[in-house]
Amino acid sequence: MQEAAGVLKEGFLVKRGHIVRNWKVRWFVLLQDKLLYYKIEGGKKEPSPKGRILLDGCTITCPCLEYENRPLLIKLKTKTNTDYFLECCSREERDSWALDITGAIHAGHPVQVQELHRKKNSFKLLENISLHHIVARMCDSSTGIKLTRNLEQGNRYKETFTGSALVDWLISSSFAVSRFEAVTLASMLMEENFIKPVGARSTEATRYSDLSEQFLDDSTALYMFAESSKKNTSSKEELQFNISELSGTIVKQGFLVKQGHKRKNWKVRRFVLRADPAFLHYYDPTKEENRPVGGFSLRGCLVSALEDNGVPAGVKGNVQGNLFKIITKNDIHYYIQASSKAERAEWIEAIKPLT
């Protein structure tokens, strides 16, 4: 397609619909002046875009916390006041998309680009800042930080939040301008015992002597209010998946296209690869609840790339290519499609050591 020349970035994002407020996965292509999005039918991108977002005069909000169950949103407001909500699969991916879109919006205005970089690296906390006031705002039932249950190393903690979620909230609530400022502020909250680390990931970081390195801007580091109870292990009935499956360290995550077992249709899923124990889970990114729709142990699995010339045996439908296959020790075959050969190679290399 001619418009695809000069592509700055492309990949899967989850988009909120304008008329029906549901969430759909689309393939986005960032150009210098616009953001195109495509439907994926079967396992293939449609040739013509489903829509486009003109970037001239756009404003971008990131982090955007308007949807409680979707903390990884970017909000774009066009100069005609149309709002677009785009969701990524990780905090790092969200920030990368936001940076590239911001660069495209201000490409013709070098002074604004300089100012944005200055703000990103700035450090100037509000004068007379009250940590008590921040904590009170954090506890507000409507505008405060969302508390969730989280798993780490076989333990199920209740009423926790992640390090990156707190950083997002501090920026969104205008207590900090940059992530660096927000990390410093969060470190102060921890130093004054308003919040505390829970689980090995965040607790281990407190051993650093430098205060600025003790709080982690990380989506796997858990924290809670200091007065909260420690942890609450749930009954087996509460989880569809065994608690140990979901407690491993996240090695890699991202959007991939998977062939269904029964209907053999292709759906975009958010895959999360974990180690210790080694599991690969996949989630439906259009759903509100953050629980897997499937997953399997990688122990004894075989993973291999599939040739791109023709449709391999076991694969149905019109696919884009870049396929790989995982065969479990119970001889269940999973057919998965990456967006490029490089991405396929990255996933295979990440999975192989865990089998």
Residue reference for tokens 């953050």:
290
Q: Which CATH number fits domain 243-352: 2.40.110.10, 2.30.29.30, 1.10.3720.10, 2.102.10.10?
A: 2.30.29.30
Taking the complete model, does pTM exceed 0.85, yes or no? no
Indicate the burial class of 64 (C-beta count within 10 angstroms; 0-12, 13-18, 19 or more).
buried
Fold (CATH) for 7-120: PH-domain like (2.30.29)
For 271-282, write each residue's pLDDT tens digit. 999 998 899 999
Per-residue pLDDT at 235: 37
**Mean pLDDT, residues 205-228 taken together:** 80
Is 60 exceeded by the pLDDT of residue 92?
yes
Instruction: Measure the CA–CA gap between 282 and 339, rounded to whole angstroms.
Output: 16
Rounded Cα–Cα distance for residues 77 and 53 (Å): 9
pLDDT mean over 237-248: 62
Element (H, E) at 152: strand 148-152
The contacts of residue 100 (CB under 8 Å, 6+ apart) are: 8, 9, 30
Between the alpha carbon of residue 168 and those of residues 29, 67, 116, 164, 334, the distances in Å are: 25, 13, 17, 6, 36
Q: Can you tell me the distance from the alpha carbon of 197 to that of 180, in angstroms, rounded to the nearest whole number?
A: 19
**Residues 6 or more apart in contact with residue 95 via CB below 8 angstroms:** 62
Q: Which of 34-38, 193-197, 224-228 bottoms out in mean pLDDT, i.e. has the lowest?
A: 224-228
Q: Report long-range pairs for 159-162 (Cβ below 8 Å, ≥24 apart).
A: 159/224, 159/225, 159/228, 159/229, 160/198, 160/222, 160/223, 160/224, 161/222, 161/223, 161/224, 162/218, 162/219, 162/220, 162/221, 162/222, 162/223
Q: Which residues of 178-194 are buried (b: 16+ CB within 10 A; e: fewer)?
A: bbbbbbbbbbbbbeeeb
pLDDT band, very low/low/confident/very high, at 199 (cuts 50, 70, 90): confident
Please classify residue 327 by burial: count the beta carbons closer than 10 Å to its beta carbon, then call 0-12 exposed, 13-18 middle and 19+ buried.
Answer: middle
Check if CATH label 1.10.10.10 holds for domain 131-225: yes
* Distance (Å) of CA 96 to CA 62, 63, 87, 230: 11, 12, 12, 34
Asked if pLDDT for residue 1 goes beyond 90, the answer is no
H-helix or E-strand spanning residue 171: helix 163-172
C-alpha 261, offset from chain centre: 26
pLDDT in tens, 64-80: 999 888 989 999 999 99
For 252-305, the DSSP string reads: EEEEEEEE-SSS--EEEEEEEEEETTTEEEEE-TTSSS---SEEEE-TT-EEEE
Domain segments of the chain: what residues?
A: 7-120, 131-225, 243-352
Residue 304 bridge partners (DSSP):
325
Query: Which pLDDT value is given to residue 216?
Result: 92
Beta-sheet pairing, 302-305 with 279-283: unpaired
Q: Are 251 and 220 in contact (CB under 8 A)?
A: no
Token pair in block for residue 318 = 């019109």
| DSSP per-residue codes, 34-73 | EEEEE-EETBEE-SS-SEEEE-TT-EEEEEE-SSTT-TTE
- Nearest Cα to 72, choosing from 55, 47, 92? 92
Q: Is the pLDDT of residue 14 over 90?
A: yes
In which band, very low, low, confident or very high, does the pLDDT at 163 lie, cut at 50, 70 and 90?
Answer: very high
User: Do the domains 243-352 and 7-120 match in fold?
Assistant: yes
